[in-house]
Amino acid sequence: MSKPLRIGVAGLGTVGVGVVKILAARREFLAAAAGRSIDLVAVSARDSAKSRGIDLDGVRWENDARKLAAANDIDVVVELIGGAEGVAREVVETALANGKHVVTANKALIAHHGISLARAAEQRGVAFNYEAAVAGGIPIIKALREGLAANEIESLVGILNGTCNYILTEMETTGRDFGDVLKDAQALGYAEADPSFDVGGIDAAHKLAILASLAFGREIDFGSVHIEGIEKITAADIRFAREFGYKIKLLAIATKTDGGVEQRVHPALVADGSPLAAVSGVFNAVAVRGDRVGLLVLEGRGAGEGPTASAVLSDLVDIARGLVMPPFIVPTSHLKQPAKANADKSQSAYYLRFNAIDRAGSMAEITRALANAAVSIERIVQPGEQGDTGRKPVVFVTHKTEEGSMRAAQTHLSRLEDVAGKPLVIRIEDGESR
């Protein structure tokens, strides 16, 4: 058996504690699986007095995480501090510069600096592993970097934020409205005190940018991700969607087009019966389509102590087994430059909801506005309910139309006197059919 792999863990939040627990509980098994023992040498966190329910006897405590990145007795730094800048970035950069392997769960860091970090890792011949950064317990990074290495990926659609999926599922099952359910989710610990990162779609966009780079062999391009959150989805939207045979999900979508890569995070109507429509609660899922493998769907828990720590351990075992590969499948020098596809030409059917004054001629005006934008209507629903300010909700489902046309229609409609505010526009995705 080779000499032990010596670990330093920076950050003892939920995930860090989970990692320490598994290293202790599965010590012998992991040593047998990896061919060498995986030893926790040092940890670092803000508050050394805090009780965390873990045994740190014989483990060095560092108040400054940067010390781990410089320590001579550490082979792998596990960065669980979080954040795209500051200490987390410094720790990872220093560790790599010092020729240490790095394992991280930090999606923001990778979305913003992943390529330069990968380059640093390649220069030193060390591993830069981040399975825990995307979709928690789902081994999607491993699937893309290793399992599907022989495939050209055509598209990737994910449910990548458990908070949003939990809220939407609760809205669906209870009929309650967004704000209400969000408060509960916060009480349950499924949503942060400041939920904007999650419900605004930014967290999902970080993860999507990472997956899109792996899928399409281009440098990460977080800035090009089109992002919409779920804040505007109402209980009524979910009810209408259900009537039409759909669930509303926050999807993260990356597609290869002739013009480049389209990256989008937004709520979408997903057809019942398609793999992603059934993904409920805090679960995440990713549907990848490869030219050889066809459709592959992975579903599991996207967050939490156990699933995320499980992913970190998988990265550690890989390193202990001697696996060092290019962090983004091929060396960074082989990655193509980002190329943002022109979304205007992207086609989709749409769900459209707004409040309109219920008077003779208003519907004629509305439908004319749609026709002028070259949007053709598949169905119109005017439920009996009275909306606010004397207006009534109107729901349209359109035929497939270009995104540019839909945006124009949205603008036209919002200018009409009879229409209150900006219409809510949600894409209808066919879902990934089997």
What residues between 27 and 46 interact with its own copies by CB under 8 A?
Answer: 29-30, 32-33, 35
Q: Does 413 bind its own copies (CB under 8 A)?
A: no
Q: Does 103 bind its own copies (CB under 8 A)?
A: no
What residues between 107 and 136 interact with its own copies by CB under 8 A?
Answer: 131
Angle (CA) 224-226-232 rounded to 5° is 160
Considering the complex, state which of residue 87 and residue 120 has its C-beta at the smaller distance from its own copies. Answer: 120
Q: Quick one: CA dihedral 244, 248, 249, 254, positive or negative? A: positive
Considering the complex, state which of residue 223 and residue 281 has its C-beta at the smaller distance from its own copies. Answer: 281
Q: Does 393 bind its own copies (CB under 8 A)?
A: no
Q: Does 343 bind its own copies (CB under 8 A)?
A: no
| Closest CA relative to residue 369, chosen from 403, 334, 418, 336 | 418
* Residue 346, both tokens: 């992207």
Q: Quick one: CA dihedral 88, 90, 96, 99, positive or negative? A: negative
Check: CB of residue 206 under 8 Å from CB of residue 222.
Answer: yes
Instruction: Please identify which of the residues 207, 247, 249, 392 carries the catalytic annotation.
Output: 207
Does 207 participate in catalysis according to the annotation? yes
Q: Does 275 bind its own copies (CB under 8 A)?
A: yes
Collect all residues with Cβ–Cβ distance below 8 Å to 89 and sequence separation of at least 6: 83, 109, 113
Q: Does 168 bind its own copies (CB under 8 A)?
A: no
Considering the complex, state which of residue 107 and residue 289 has its C-beta at the smaller distance from its own copies. Answer: 289
Considering the complex, state which of residue 200 and residue 300 has its C-beta at the smaller distance from its own copies. Answer: 300
Per rule CB under 8 A, count of chain residues that contact its own copies: 62
Nearest approach, Cβ of 285 to its own copies (angstroms)?
Answer: 8
What residues between 276 and 335 interact with its own copies by CB under 8 A?
Answer: 278-281, 283, 290-301, 304, 306-307, 309-311, 313-314, 317-318, 321-326, 329-331, 334
Spatial distance between the Cα atoms of 16 and 316, rounded to a whole number of angstroms: 13
Spatial distance between the Cα atoms of 159 and 270, rounded to a whole number of angstroms: 11
Q: Does 26 bind its own copies (CB under 8 A)?
A: yes
In 167-293, where do the E strands start and end?
226-227, 246-257, 260-271, 283-290
Spatial distance between the Cα atoms of 288 and 306, rounded to a whole number of angstroms: 24
Nearest approach, Cβ of 371 to its own copies (angstroms)?
Answer: 38
Q: Which residues bind its own copies (CB under 8 A)?
A: 18, 22, 26, 29-30, 32-33, 35, 131, 137-139, 142-143, 146-152, 217, 273, 275, 278-281, 283, 290-301, 304, 306-307, 309-311, 313-314, 317-318, 321-326, 329-331, 334, 434
Active-site annotation, residues: 207
